Amino acid sequence: MKTITFTDFRKRASGFITEVEHGETLILLRRGKPVAEIIPFSDKSRHTPSWQQPGIRLRIRGSDLSSAILDEREKNR
pLDDT tens, residue by residue, 35-77:
999 999 886 666 777 788 888 777 666 667 788 888 889 988 7
What's the rounded Cα separation, in Å, for the pair 33 and 36?
Answer: 9
Q: What is the pTM of this model?
A: 0.54
Res 38: pLDDT: 95
- Give the end-to-end CA distance of the chain in Å, rounded to a whole number: 61
Domain boundaries, the chain: 1-41
- Pairwise pLDDT comparison (10 vs 55), residue with the higher score: 10
Res 12: pLDDT: 96
Domain 1-41 sits in CATH at 3.40.1620.10
Angle at 48 between CA 47 and CA 54, to 5 degrees: 145
What's the rounded Cα separation, in Å, for the pair 55 and 65?
Answer: 15
Res 45: pLDDT: 62
